Amino acid sequence: MSGLVASGRSRRYTRLLPTGALLAVLAVLVLLPIGMLVYASVTDAVPRPGAVTGALTFSHFSELLSGANASAAANTLILGLAGTALSMAIGGFLAWAAARTDVPGKAMVQLSGIIPLFVSSLVGAVAWSTLASPGQGYLNIVFRAIGVPIELNIYTLPGIAFVFGLYYAPYSFMLIYGALSLMNPELEEAAKVYGASGRRTARHVTFPLVKPAIAASAVLTFGLIVENFPVPTLLGTPGGIDTLPSFIYRLMNAAPPQSNLAAAIGVGLTVIVLLILVVQRRMLAKRRYTTVSGKGFRPRVIELGRWRWAVFALCASYITLAVILPLAALLQMSMRSQPFISGVGDFFDVSVFGFQQFTAVLNDSTFQDAFRNSMIVGLLVMLAGGVLHSTMAFIVHRTRLPGRKLVEYIAMAPLAMPAVVLSLGFLWAWFLLPVPLYGTLLILVLAYVVRFMPQGYSSVSTSLQQIHPDLEDSAYTSGAGPVRSATTITFPLIRASVVSSALMLLILSMRELSAAVFLFTSQTRVLSIVIFDYMDGGVFARAAAASILYSLVLGAIALLARRYLGVTAAPSRGA
């Protein structure tokens, strides 16, 4: 009898081993940084290497809504609402044109809705500081030359909201385009048969059916904007505008650093993002009344008539403002031997053009090291994240091991942590642990793996849920064990999804700035950090040249990944 009991215990311990080991890893990677952030917010001292000290206090939270903190919170709210409204208007219009109209060049319209995803918001901020800075902004020079009494100033709340609207419109486009494409046209046709006008049909039929997608994309976009760090830092600092992420950065770089207050603000920002995600999930759940059925259909196409080319022009103007014009401005700035421009004619003065800035950047040992670091970090994130996220998804969806639900909850926890806050938590967590990772590329790799864990996990999980368990059950019936079944049945079927997820991690990690902002040293800079430092140091021409090269690298990776990623990309939070 005792032998049977011992054998049963051994089997239980064996079943606990896989999830136990995985949960231990996730506790260090995910839960410890969250815990250190909360700890720093309620003590009067920050964690030091090898030790945790400080007396308990909640005084930092009482400062959240006072003085500069309240101003940063108000600016965050204003930019979140304004940027969301603009991105929704742009993305919704593009989605409607691409999914429901006979606009010419429909393939280009569809592509214009997602191309800005592959342009970092950091690069967008650098470009628009060149285009619309007061006085010598390129657009202001053109307006003065043609007699238009407009003076643009990108270093204002409306200017920053405009940049947010441009570079977050693709998220609205993807969600609304999907809803419009899948909507059964018979409902609209029925309204038309009963005499409803086009406007009334849109108000009472079309809009209610896509309202969950509109609401969900609005909540998602708002959450992404309020946690963005590079745009308000680069464009808000000249105008004295702080948001919560940029204010956290400023507090940490003050003399002396106000780390505990920064931690308290980080906790507050995390709570805000968490509430936003809860609202978004509830809104997405309401989409269960979808009209898609087993019967095939094609969405009704609206004939635009004489407005076809006007709609196309509006779609083309978006891609011009978001991609073509910014890249052209960066190219102009980076190729000029002198930055001063007295008039429009100077834009075409080829005598001042050259590749000196590109040569200087390419010969800069800092840029060379950053490029190498970015590639190393990106490839390691692709490999480590691909393995870890796939393992987590497999345990949750293809096993009955105890603790698998907890794995799923932890996998989605980083969604609620803004990247700047995650960087802060990682800094203190690895100060505490007796492992010398700070100052190495490995801490950036781990931070990025955690940062993009929800995206990687969800991507593989979706594929696993689409594979019916009967396939693996047949393998078990034929005598195959769990390992053989997984290697011969499951993994070959999800291989494309795993590769797609890994390549997505490579692209996202190459774009990322916010999660690295407190974790890099002079030896571990990545490309995004170098561009940020160029801008922060006022070396604008070099920042423009580096941004062009950075965009070329991202574009090349995106083209190589297109075989697996197609023309879509998972909504993600990135710099």
Report pLDDT for 148. 87
Report pLDDT for 437. 86
Predicted TM-score (pTM) above 0.95: no
In contact, 443 and 519? CB cutoff 8 Å: yes
Is the pLDDT assigned to residue 571 strictly greater than 50? no
Q: Residue 72 to residues 67, 76, 82, 337, 570: CA-CA distances in angstroms?
A: 9, 6, 15, 38, 30
Which tokens hold the place of 428? 């203190």
What's the whole-number average pLDDT of the chain?
Answer: 80
Integer Cα distance of 323 and 205 in angstroms = 35
Q: Is residue 563 in a domain?
A: yes
Span of 6-15, 84-93, 210-219, 374-383 with lowest mean pLDDT: 6-15
Q: Is residue 11 in a domain?
A: no
Domain hosting 27: range is 16-45+357-575
Q: Is residue 150 in a domain?
A: no
Shared domain check, 452 and 553: yes
Of residues 351 and 83, the one with the higher pLDDT is 83
Q: Is residue 409 in a domain?
A: yes
Integer Cα distance of 552 and 132 in angstroms = 23
Q: pLDDT, tens digit, for every residue of 419-439? A: 888 898 898 888 888 888 888
Shared domain check, 164 and 196: yes
Q: Is residue 332 in a domain?
A: no
CA-CA-CA-CA torsion sign (223, 229, 235, 239): positive
246: Cα within 13 Å, side-chain hemisphere = 26
Segment 106-114 mean pLDDT: 83
Report pLDDT for 291. 44
Shared domain check, 365 and 313: no
Q: Is residue 70 in a domain?
A: yes
* pLDDT-derived band at 4, boundaries 50, 70, 90: very low
Shared domain check, 410 and 289: no
Report pLDDT for 390. 87
Shared domain check, 300 and 240: yes
Give the end of a domain, one of 282, 299, 324.
324
Domain count, the chain: 2
Q: How far is CA 445 from the centre of its chain?
A: 17
CATH number at residue 29: 1.10.3720.10
> Any idea which residue has 């291989």 for tokens?
495
Shared domain check, 81 and 35: no
Which tokens hold the place of 3? 């032998």
Shared domain check, 23 and 82: no
% helix / strand / coil in the chain, to the nearest 5?
A: 75, 0, 25
Shared domain check, 480 and 374: yes
Is the pLDDT assigned to residue 572 strictly greater than 90? no
Q: Is residue 348 in a domain?
A: no
Percent of the chain, pLDDT > 70? 80
Q: pLDDT, tens digit, for every residue of 173-189? A: 887 887 777 665 655 55
Residues near 46 by beta carbon (within 8 Å), at least 6 away in sequence: 40, 54, 257, 259, 260, 263, 428
Integer Cα distance of 429 and 422 in angstroms = 10
Report pLDDT for 59. 79
Q: pLDDT, tens digit, for every residue of 455-485? A: 888 877 777 766 666 555 565 566 555 666 6
Q: Is residue 80 in a domain?
A: yes
* pLDDT-derived band at 292, boundaries 50, 70, 90: very low
Residues near 458 by beta carbon (within 8 Å), at least 6 away in sequence: 412, 570
In contact, 150 and 263? CB cutoff 8 Å: no
Integer Cα distance of 506 and 370 in angstroms = 15
